Amino acid sequence: VEVVVARRVPTFFMRVLGKEAVEVEARAVAGLVDRNIGVYAIDPSQKGALTVAKGARVDIPECDVFVNSQSRAAALAGAGARLTAGRVEVVGGYEGDGFYPDPETGASQIADPLEDLPAPSYSGCDHYGTVTVRGKRRLRPGVYCGGIDVVDDGQLVLESGVYVLRGGGLRVGKQCEPQELPKSDHGDSDHGESDHGDSEHASASHGDSDHGASDHGDSDHTAKVTVCHVSGSREQTLEVEASALATHLAHGDSLGKCSNLCEASADHGDSDHGESEHGDSDHGGSDHASSDHGDSASAGKAEAKVCHPAIRGTGVTIYVTDGPHCGYGPVEIDPSASVDLSAPTSGPLAGVLFFQDRRIASGPASTLAVDGSDAMTGVAYFPTTAVHLVGGKLGAAQEMKIVANKVGFEGRLLIDCPANNGPYTPSALKRVALSE
Asked if residue 335 and residue 278 are part of one domain, the reply reads no
Asked if residue 156 and residue 53 are part of one domain, the reply reads yes
Whether 86 maps to a domain, the answer reads yes
* Structural domains counted in the chain: 3
Percent of the chain whose predicted confidence (pLDDT) is above 90: 49
Whether 261 maps to a domain, the answer reads yes
Among 110-114, 150-154, 213-217, 379-383, which stretch is predicted with the lowest mean pLDDT?
A: 213-217
Asked if residue 167 and residue 47 are part of one domain, the reply reads yes
In sequence order, what are the residues at sequence separation of 6 or more whose Cβ sits closer than 8 angstroms to the Cβ of residue 189? none
Give 46-85 pLDDT, tens digit per residue.
999 999 999 999 999 989 999 999 999 999 999 999 999 9
Using 50, 70 and 90 to split pLDDT, how confident is the model at 243?
confident
Whether 205 maps to a domain, the answer reads no
Per-residue confidence (pLDDT) for residue 188, from 0 to 100 = 44
pLDDT at residue 41 is higher than 90: yes
Q: What is d(CA 364, CA 234) in angstroms, rounded to the nearest whole number?
A: 12
Helix (H, G, I), strand (E, B) or coil at 162: strand
Asked if residue 311 and residue 168 are part of one domain, the reply reads yes
Percent of the chain whose predicted confidence (pLDDT) is above 70: 64
- Residue 326 in contact with residue 146, Cβ under 8 Å? yes
Asked if residue 21 and residue 48 are part of one domain, the reply reads no
User: Which of 245, 270, 303 marks a domain boundary?
Assistant: 303
- Residue 378 in contact with residue 351, Cβ under 8 Å? yes
Exposed e or buried b per residue across 189-224, where buried means at least 16 C-beta atoms within 10 angstroms of its C-beta: eebbbbeeeebebbbbeeeebebbbeeebbbebbeb
Question: Containing H/E element for 238?
Answer: strand 234-241
pLDDT at residue 149 is higher than 50: yes
Per-residue confidence (pLDDT) for residue 7, from 0 to 100 = 76
Asked if residue 316 and residue 343 are part of one domain, the reply reads yes
Whether 104 maps to a domain, the answer reads yes
Q: What is d(CA 20, CA 23) in angstroms, rounded to the nearest whole number?
A: 11
- Residue 144 in contact with residue 165, Cβ under 8 Å? yes
Whether 53 maps to a domain, the answer reads yes
Whether 118 maps to a domain, the answer reads yes
Closest Cα partner for 42 from 403, 368, 427, 434?
403
Q: Which phi and psi angles does 165 have, rounded to 5°?
A: -100, 100
Per-residue confidence (pLDDT) for residue 217, from 0 to 100 = 42
Answer left, alpha or beta for residue 407, where phi above 0 means left and psi between -120 and 50 means alpha.
beta
Asked if residue 347 and residue 237 are part of one domain, the reply reads no
C-alpha distances out from residue 32 to 29, 41, 417, Å:
11, 20, 19
Asked if residue 421 and residue 315 are part of one domain, the reply reads yes
Whether 369 maps to a domain, the answer reads yes
Asked if residue 87 and residue 107 are part of one domain, the reply reads yes
What is the mean predicted confidence (pLDDT) over 258-285? 42
Asked if residue 316 and residue 292 are part of one domain, the reply reads no
Whether 190 maps to a domain, the answer reads no
User: Which of 303, 326, 346 marks a domain boundary?
Assistant: 303
Using 50, 70 and 90 to split pLDDT, how confident is the model at 234?
low
Choice between 216 and 9, residue whose per-residue pLDDT is larger: 9
Asked if residue 311 and residue 285 are part of one domain, the reply reads no
Asked if residue 311 and residue 163 are part of one domain, the reply reads yes
Q: Which domain holds residue 269?
A: 212-303
